Amino acid sequence: MIVTTVTKGAEFRLSQPTLGVDSDRHTVQIPLGSVIKVLTGEENQERMVDVDWDGTIVKLFVQDIQVRGIPVKATHAGRKPPLT
């Protein structure tokens, strides 16, 4: 299994709906295909990081991003990478 590093500034497209926590501590479901941008970097898989999802800041577990996130490469600007 290849572990994706979750670092500040990285962008990921979600391959599955994923739960996050908003600033009011409510759970929110981020839909399949959404692009998120990591705002804080964390190497510990048990930690949560802040991400920007369509202008909303939510917290996600690093492990969820590693399992469900497809890295968005600069070469895909303006295009959606395929979901596999």
* Residue range 3-36, pLDDT digits in tens: 678 889 999 999 999 999 999 999 999 999 999 9
pTM: 0.79
* Position 46 in a domain: yes
Count of other CB atoms within 10 angstroms of residue 57: 12
Does residue 47 belong to any structural domain of this protein? yes
| Domain coverage including residue 43 | 11-73
Q: Is residue 29 part of a domain?
A: yes
Pick the more confident residue, 60 or 83: 60
Q: Is residue 2 part of a domain?
A: no
Any domain includes 52: yes
Could you tell me which residues come within 8 angstroms of residue 27 by beta carbon, excluding any fewer than 6 positions away? Answer: 19, 20, 21
- CATH no. for residue 48? 2.30.30.40
Residue 81 in domain: no
